[in-house]
């Protein structure tokens, strides 16, 4: 028997972290299209993130990317966030945009470059300490394009050395999240191409190191929920970077390409009791809004995760277990399909109303006049973004 009160309670306490870079100009390697009113610095990015939380009620933290979000006083930045009802979330080092990293960062054959990259990772541990962040989120563009370009085993040794040096500087309450990506920007080998490679390094480091699953970083047809289930079983699922892909790492709004996949992932999360803020699993968005309005896209993305979660919470676990035990293949599948086909929008509207929010976040944001205000106010200066 599904307890509607429990379902609503779970939805109210959901925590979805938005990324600072989603509020800047970003997109593809072909072209980044500038938009009016886009944030010009980390303070304005946080203000935009606060709007997402104001209308959804479940996005109380914002991730930072360093050096994109570098400031002189990180404690002041954290104080600014707190004043807007937010916390600073995961700190993401950038070791992929400098010329020195042409052949890799921590896996580079040049020890001088490796030391530079590792020093930046350690710097980000310090940034986390200054901002109150409890997570260091790592992604490496390191890899090779040609057979024989570098020693594959040696690169793994270099990676392990840099991770260990960084891990040793982390306080006990911090988690290292190690992301993987099976191709791009390198096309022969990536140094962390899959969840298995990430897991191997995490196991060697210790309990504070966990795997980060980016839903766009898999080969076509990969069963992501299987990976999620396996990592939960080992207590090594650190979190998600939610987005959507049609072909590669498209960084589209989560749920846009395959909402049923998002539901299946959340079904594993809910089934394992790993949904709540105390689960140790971080639910983060990682998206680049090239042609769509930034804040609206983040609100829509949060809503998509909420809808998938609500459907997963409505799965009749007792009926599912009985069907599975009886070998009732279609019966078990129908339990999931019934939950997925449920229109949960009225339920979420009810939850938002009980939270003192508008039942329709997108319409409420549109009526707020915030977009028009930032377009008028953010004139001059340089918009945040990573160019192209």
Per residue in 46-104, pLDDT tens?
Answer: 999 999 999 999 999 999 999 999 999 999 999 999 999 999 999 999 999 999 999 99
Mean pLDDT score, 193-203: 98
Cβ atoms of residues 131 and 179 within 8 Å? no
Across the chain, what does the average pLDDT equal? 96
Alpha helices in 67-110 (DSSP H): 74-83
Strand intervals (E) in 276-328: 282-285
Q: Of 265, 262, 213, 263, give the one whose Cα is nearest residue 240.
A: 213
Residue 268 neighbours by CB under 8 Å, 6+ apart: 225, 228, 229, 232
**Residue 19 backbone dihedrals phi, psi, to 5 degrees:** -100, 140
Confidence at residue 344, expressed as pLDDT on a 0 to 100 scale: 98
Per residue in 313-358, pLDDT tens?
Answer: 999 999 999 999 999 999 999 999 999 999 999 999 999 999 999 9
Residue 361 has pLDDT above 50, yes or no: yes
Confidence at residue 388, expressed as pLDDT on a 0 to 100 scale: 45
Q: Of 188, 74, 71, 56, give the one whose Cα is nearest residue 131.
A: 74
Inter-helix orientation angle 329-340/317-325, to 10° = 160
Cβ atoms of residues 39 and 23 within 8 Å? yes
Cβ atoms of residues 15 and 57 within 8 Å? no
Confidence at residue 250, expressed as pLDDT on a 0 to 100 scale: 85
DSSP character string of 238-268: EEEEE-B-SSSS--BPTTSS-HHHHHHHHHH
* Domains, in order of start, for the chain: 13-377 (3.20.20.150)
Per residue in 90-116, pLDDT tens?
Answer: 999 999 999 999 999 999 999 999 999
Per residue in 5-17, pLDDT tens?
Answer: 999 999 999 999 9
Confidence at residue 30, expressed as pLDDT on a 0 to 100 scale: 76
Q: Of 302, 299, 239, 303, give the one whose Cα is nearest residue 269.
A: 239
Confidence at residue 277, expressed as pLDDT on a 0 to 100 scale: 86
Residue 175 has pLDDT above 60, yes or no: yes
Confidence at residue 387, expressed as pLDDT on a 0 to 100 scale: 57
Q: How far apart are CA 276 and CA 297, in angstroms?
A: 24
Q: What is the DSSP letter of 327?
A: T
Q: How far apart are CA 351 and CA 12, in angstroms?
A: 7
Q: How far apart are CA 14 and CA 273, in angstroms?
A: 13
Start-to-end C-alpha separation, the chain: 53
Residue 1 has pLDDT above 90, yes or no: no
Count other Cβ atoms within 10 Å, centred on residue 72: 6
pTM: 0.96
């Amino acid at each position: 028997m599904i307890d509607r009160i429990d379902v609503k309670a779970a939805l109210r306490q959901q925590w979805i972290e938005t990324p600072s870079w989603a509020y800047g100009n970003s997109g593809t390697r072909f072209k980044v299209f500038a938009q009016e009113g886009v944030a010009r610095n980390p303070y304005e990015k946080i203000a935009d993130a606060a709007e997402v939380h104001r209308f959804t009620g479940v996005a109380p933290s914002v991730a930072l990317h360093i050096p994109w979000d570098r400031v002189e006083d990180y404690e002041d930045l954290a104080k600014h966030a707190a004043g807007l009802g937010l916390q600073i979330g995961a700190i993401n080092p950038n070791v992929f945009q400098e010329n020195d990293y042409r052949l890799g960062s921590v896996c580079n054959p040049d020890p001088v470059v490796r030391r530079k990259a590792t020093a930046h990772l350690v710097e980000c541990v310090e940034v986390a300490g200054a901002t109150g962040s409890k997570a260091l989120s790592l992604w490496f563009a390191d890899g090779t394009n040609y057979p024989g370009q570098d020693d594959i085993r040696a690169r793994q040794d270099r990676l392990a050395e840099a991770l260990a040096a960084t891990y040793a500087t982390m306080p006990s309450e911090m988690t290292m999240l190690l992301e993987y990506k099976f191709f791009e920007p390198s096309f022969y080998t990536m140094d962390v191409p899959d969840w298995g490679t990430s897991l191997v390094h995490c196991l060697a480091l210790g309990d504070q190191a966990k795997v980060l699953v980016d839903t766009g970083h898999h080969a076509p047809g990969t069963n992501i929920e299987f990976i999620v289930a396996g990592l939960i079983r080992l207590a090594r699922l650190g979190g998600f970077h939610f987005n959507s892909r049609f072909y590669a790492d498209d960084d589209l709004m989560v749920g846009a390409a395959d909402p049923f996949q998002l539901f299946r992932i959340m079904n594993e999360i809910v089934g394992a009791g790993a949904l709540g803020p105390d689960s140790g699993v971080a639910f983060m968005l990682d998206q680049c809004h090239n042609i769509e309005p930034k804040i609206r896209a983040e609100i829509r993305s949060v809503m998509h995760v909420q809808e998938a979660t609500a459907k997963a919470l409505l799965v009749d676990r007792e009926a599912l277990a009985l069907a599975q035990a009886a070998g009732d293949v279609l019966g078990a599948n129908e339990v999931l399909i019934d939950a997925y086909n449920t229109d949960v929008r009225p339920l979420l509207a009810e939850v938002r109303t009980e939270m003192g929010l508008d039942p329709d976040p997108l319409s409420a944001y549109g009526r707020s006049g915030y977009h028009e205000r930032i377009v008028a106010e953010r004139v001059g200066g340089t918009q945040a973004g990573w160019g192209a």
